[in-house]
Amino acid sequence: LYTAPDSCEGRCGEPFSEEDECHCHPECERHHNCCQDYERHCGPDGFSSSRDSIADQELLELSEQLYGVDHNKAQPSDIAINPQHRAGPDETGDQQDRSPQPLYKYVNEELFSKPTYASFIKLLDNYQRATGREEEVTAEELQEQDHFLEEVMKTELMKKLFAFLQGKNRYGSEQEFVQDLKEMWFGLYSRGDGERDSSGFEHVFSGEVKKGKVSGFHNWIRFYLLEKQGVVNYFSHNFNGPWDTYPDVLGLQFSWDGFYKEVGSAFIGCSPEFEFGLYTLCFLARPGRACHLSLGGHRLSIQTYPWTKSTYGSGRSFIATAYVMSP
């Protein structure tokens, strides 16, 4: 299910990419750069058939389809942002607030009453942001996780993603898919000294503080809610995507209660299921590598990393991080 960057499982016939540690296309034998398990998975009697690998072109096509069915995204009239100062490469690290106004001028909070938004927002206060402090998960919090997964799976976007992954023999049933989403995103592991203090969801969507710096925190809804409370201070942006509607992409600098994020990136105005679905797709298709997608005719990439120090199930990996890359 999970495709390791140094394995050919699920990657037979995949096109050559310089970013890959090792290769699984038929030419790799001639070039002596196949992954060690190439023969086992991709040989004539191998486990994986090449039709189950996810080709670059399929990622471009599927991401456009998911973009087209993000029915819960913000409309242009729902959000007004004020990006202000554009930081040069030499400015992103100097922790200067060059934008006196907040990033968000206006958000139509009626969006937040939509079921996927409401169930997503409920999850955000379930975490201790400091790494090294054990997360205690209550029965209520587990119910909130289940409720969020239930709501996103009702959307056309997540149904389309599941149908694609099922067609690639990654999952046999929707129930299996939902169970795996729960483990890869909400399963706990240790970023600190052995305490189960982190999860993919906490890191990516809620944000953490590690060694005095903001870690993760790639979600626009979380940013807006904390900026409104006065605990997030927007400093500048270093990238503004080419989209003239939502979702858009912003690379940004900010502080959270005095802890600094030098370069964060976020989709602006997408639904929770859009981000959750795209990050999941890229984690399953291109873990540890750049995952090249297309949204509304514009290319972009998502980077994911698997957590390598512990696994769940039969050796599957938790999500360590996932974010949209700003060039």
Query: Which active-site residues does the annotation give?
Result: 203, 218, 261
- The Cα–Cα gap between 96 and 114 comes to 36
Q: Where are the alpha helices (DSSP H) in the chain?
A: 28-31, 38-42, 56-68, 115-123, 139-153, 156-167, 174-186, 200-201, 220-229, 272-285
Residue 305 to residue 282: CA distance in whole angstroms: 10
163-186 core/surface letters (b: 16 or more CB in 10 A; e: else): ebbeebebbeeeeebbebbbbbbb
- The Cα–Cα gap between 73 and 76 comes to 10
- Which backbone phi and psi does 150 adopt, to 5 degrees? -60, -45
| Two structure tokens written together for 315 | 């050796």
Residue from 206, 116, 100 nearest 158 by CA: 116
The tokens for 80 are 């007004």
Report the alpha-carbon distance of residue 125 to residue 54 in Å, rounded. Answer: 36
Token duo for residue 93: 């690290």
- Rounded Cα distance between 251 and 85, Å, is 12
Question: Tokens representing 314?
Answer: 């039969």
Dist CA 290 CA 19 (whole Å): 8
